[in-house]
């Protein structure tokens, strides 16, 4: 298993161009639903949608559910999930009273959290997906960031009074460059997620130029990961893919 930070390489499953993605919120290009697993993820993370878009997302989820042949027997919806109020009444009358929880108990608990089998199932899907897509995602994000990073480099050269290429190898210069690179690249992958619903993030490397690609849970505070070091203090050095344990 490759060394790991909640963080784990990833991107939304499906076309890398994004043209074929079925977004729950097209305006923001968020909550892609190219397959049944992504519909489940959209429901799981429904509370992260901005209130002004929640009705639009709910309608999109119900549409995709019909398209993929999903029913509420396929996953769990808890009372605390805002999507529960958009469940059709005919579905409620068939399955029980409002607030009842549904799900495949093998993969999800009643509160909507994943069981050990569910976590293992999605971990395997993420690993396969990463192997297929990680290099392409990182390369594309880096290319989109090059122009902005040229400006950053000029600012750093001025800040550290750089007059030669060798002077750019200083630890402080390198760390600051990597931090800026990770921040800019993260803006290029804001609409990408793995099959499990985790978001693609980049983290600055330590001791060498570049970034780690990672998978982070939605809402994870990336300030806890700096220069390839987890909030626990464990160093993630030279590992290509990181994943928080």
pLDDT tens track, the chain, 245 positions: 222 333 333 333 333 334 445 789 998 889 999 888 889 889 989 999 999 999 999 999 999 888 888 877 666 677 778 888 888 765 543 333 334 444 444 566 666 666 777 777 777 888 888 888 888 999 999 999 999 999 999 999 999 999 888 888 888 999 899 999 999 999 999 888 888 788 888 888 878 898 888 888 777 777 666 555 554 544 444 344 444 43
Angle at 149 between CA 145 and CA 153, to 5 degrees: 170
pTM: 0.53
Tokens 């130029």 correspond to 209
> Pseudo-torsion of CA 229, 230, 234, 235, nearest 10°?
-20
Q: Are the CB atoms for 24 and 30 separated by under 8 Å?
A: yes
């Amino acid at each position: 298993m490759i060394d790991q930070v909640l963080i784990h390489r990833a991107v939304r499953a499906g076309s890398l161009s994004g043209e074929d993605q079925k977004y729950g919120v097209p305006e923001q290009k968020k909550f892609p639903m190219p397959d049944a697993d992504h519909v489940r993820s959209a429901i799981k993370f429904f509370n992260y949608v901005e209130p002004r878009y929640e009705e639009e997302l709910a309608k999109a989820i119900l549409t995709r559910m019909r398209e993929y042949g999903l029913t509420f027997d396929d996953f769990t919806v808890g009372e605390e999930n805002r999507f529960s109020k958009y469940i059709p009444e005919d579905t409620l009358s068939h399955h029980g009273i409002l607030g009842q929880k549904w799900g495949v108990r093998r993969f999800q608990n009643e509160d909507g959290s994943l069981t050990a089998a569910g976590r293992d199932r999605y971990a395997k899907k993420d690993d396969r997906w990463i192997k297929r897509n990680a290099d392409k995602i990182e390369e594309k994000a880096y290319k989109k960031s090059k122009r902005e990073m040229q400006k950053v480099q000029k600012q750093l050269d001025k800040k550290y009074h750089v007059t030669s290429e060798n002077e750019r190898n200083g630890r402080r210069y390198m760390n600051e460059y990597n931090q800026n690179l990770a921040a800019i690249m993260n803006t290029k992958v804001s609409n990408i997620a793995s099959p499990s619903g985790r978001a693609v993030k980049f983290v600055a490397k330590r001791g060498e130029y570049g970034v780690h690609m990672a998978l982070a849970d939605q809402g994870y505070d990336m300030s806890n990961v700096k220069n390839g070091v987890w909030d626990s203090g464990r160093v993630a050095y030279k590992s290509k893919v990181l994943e928080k344990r």
